[in-house]
Amino acid sequence: MKDLTDAVAAVAVALLVRYAIVDPPGPSSPWPAWAAWPVAAVVSAPIAFRRRRPRAALVLACATATVTTMAGAVAAGAIWLSFAPTVLVLYLVAATASIAWSATGLAVCLLAMVTAVLTFYAQVFPGLAPPATPSEIPPAWPIEIGTITVLLTVSWTAGAVVRWKRETTARLVRHLADAAVTDERRRIARELHDVIGHSMSLIAVKATVANHVAEARPQEARAALAVIEQTSRSTLVEIHRVLDLLRADGEPQQAELPAPGMADLPELAAHARSAGVEVDLTVREGAALPAAVAVSVYRIVQQALTNVVTHVGPTRCSVTVDVDGREAVIEVVDDGPRHGRPPRADRAVRGGHGLIGMRERVRMYRGTFSAGPRPEGGFQVSARLPYAPDRITA
């Protein structure tokens, strides 16, 4: 389609050039009238293939316009029409080639044009017969040179601006793509941290129990091993679900697994109880949650319980999740370690990756998050996730 458009433009410019040669505003060309057709065709031909070979088309357009002007085959007072193909081709070169190449092309074209026009008016124009009807604007080389210079400069500038916009858009697209990849990597890393951190903490606790009671209380050791087995299996399922996000399009995937949500909170509490934490879970769900918010609520509760299991050990913990249709409020409070054992020092120092992950999840919804020790002892995690009810998806 573009080639057809260029061919039509070449024909239209050829007709204009031929008309200007036959009926010029100044003295007629000394060449025979029939020569106007081949001259117009040769001058306009580069337009037809400017998209296929833009640089070669520019060289040919500038060369033919320069030669025909110096030979006197063009119209006095309308020499700019002979350089019209050069103007059109130069625009495409400036829009596709490097700035250095297109600027060099512009400079060479201007130099060739000035030489051709000055040669025409110095050697050809004095020998031409005066026109039958004098033009209101008599032919003059300053007007010819000024007109063509303006056309070439505007054409090059427009092409350069188009090229700059394309490059800027391409850089922006690459930047957005890189940012999307980075965000996706962070999300996957956060998911893996939550899944593996919670499971490995529970497995470590139960493995320690099994190791200590293996000989004295084998039944309790087998129960601990059963918890480790169940936790390992569920963790593998979740890891496969997360890693499926990394698969390239077209690669075989496992059946899509449902993302965890509010209905899975009791199972989280049960896992924590099996690790020796007395969990009191309260869920007040006054409205349905969007799937993405439900996953965030689950992960925040999961990470908070993981921190209790890992840093405090056997203790009492209350988990409250309150959903009212506009926001989800989460509060996880533990009583601190029993038997006077101090909690691990790194729990409140910069929060670790767990608290950072929870804070990032809350930040996605422009909510509020706080975590720290309580004056009466223990640790408290509070999060508020506002959301739009009209964005709830099935």
The CATH number of whichever domain residue 328 belongs to comes to 3.30.565.10
Closest by CA position to 297, among listed 270, 265, 266, 326: 265
Residue 45: pLDDT over 60: yes
Chain centroid to CA 74: 51
Judgement on whether residues 170 and 42 belong to the same structural domain of the protein: yes
* Domain-located, residue 126: yes
Judgement on whether residues 166 and 296 belong to the same structural domain of the protein: no
Residue 241: pLDDT over 70: no
* Domain-located, residue 320: yes
Q: How many independent structural domains does the chain possess?
A: 2
Closest by CA position to 84, among listed 51, 112, 46: 46
pLDDT band with cut points at 50, 70 and 90 for residue 227: confident
Neighbouring residues of 299: CB distance < 8 A, sequence distance ≥ 6 = 190, 191, 194, 260, 357, 358, 361
Among candidate residues 175, 204, 235, the one where a domain is terminated: 175
* Domain-located, residue 311: yes
Judgement on whether residues 171 and 272 belong to the same structural domain of the protein: no
Q: Considering only residues 226 and 109, tell me which one the structure prediction assigns the higher pLDDT.
A: 109
Residue 344: pLDDT over 60: no
* Domain-located, residue 304: yes
pLDDT band with cut points at 50, 70 and 90 for residue 186: confident
Q: Considering only residues 273 and 180, tell me which one the structure prediction assigns the higher pLDDT.
A: 273
Judgement on whether residues 158 and 39 belong to the same structural domain of the protein: yes
d(CA 274, CA 71): 99
pTM for this entry: 0.52
Judgement on whether residues 49 and 155 belong to the same structural domain of the protein: yes
d(CA 381, CA 374): 10
Query: In this structure, are residues 332 and 380 in contact, taking their beta carbons and an 8 Å threshold?
Result: yes
Q: What is the DSSP letter of 44?
A: H
pLDDT score for 262: 87
Judgement on whether residues 157 and 285 belong to the same structural domain of the protein: no
From the number of C-beta atoms within 10 Å of its C-beta (0-12, 13-18, 19+), residue 188 rates as middle
d(CA 388, CA 394): 14
Query: In this structure, are residues 96 and 45 in contact, taking their beta carbons and an 8 Å threshold?
Result: no
How far is the CA of 135 from the CAs of 95, 131, 205, in angstroms? 37, 8, 102
* Domain-located, residue 239: no
Mean pLDDT of the chain: 80
Residue 146 belongs to what domain range? 2-175
* Domain-located, residue 219: no
Taking residues 152-168, report their average pLDDT: 92
Residue 310: pLDDT over 90: no
* Domain-located, residue 102: yes
pLDDT score for 111: 94
Q: Considering only residues 215 and 363, tell me which one the structure prediction assigns the higher pLDDT.
A: 363
Q: What is the DSSP letter of 282?
A: E
pLDDT score for 387: 86
pLDDT score for 353: 62
d(CA 61, CA 50): 10
Judgement on whether residues 9 and 143 belong to the same structural domain of the protein: yes
pLDDT tens-place string over residues 120-158 = 888 887 777 666 566 555 677 888 899 999 999 999 999
Residue 83: pLDDT over 80: yes
Judgement on whether residues 138 and 19 belong to the same structural domain of the protein: yes
Residue 249: pLDDT over 50: no
* Domain-located, residue 292: yes
Q: In the sheet that 368-373 helps form, which strands lie side by side, from edge to edge?
A: 277-285, 315-323, 327-334, 379-386, 368-373
How far is the CA of 132 from the CAs of 27, 75, 135, 147, in angstroms? 8, 15, 9, 25
Judgement on whether residues 144 and 271 belong to the same structural domain of the protein: no
Residue 5: pLDDT over 90: no
Among candidate residues 149, 175, 201, the one where a domain is terminated: 175
Query: In this structure, are residues 57 and 117 in contact, taking their beta carbons and an 8 Å threshold?
Result: no
Residue 219: pLDDT over 50: yes
- Pairing verdict, β 315-323 and 277-285: parallel
Tokens for 371, please give them.
Answer: 């975590």
Judgement on whether residues 291 and 158 belong to the same structural domain of the protein: no
H-assigned helices in the chain:
2-22, 36-44, 54-70, 79-82, 84-96, 99-119, 141-213, 218-243, 265-274, 291-311, 352-364
d(CA 86, CA 54): 11
Judgement on whether residues 266 and 381 belong to the same structural domain of the protein: yes
Among candidate residues 147, 175, 203, the one where a domain is terminated: 175
Judgement on whether residues 167 and 271 belong to the same structural domain of the protein: no
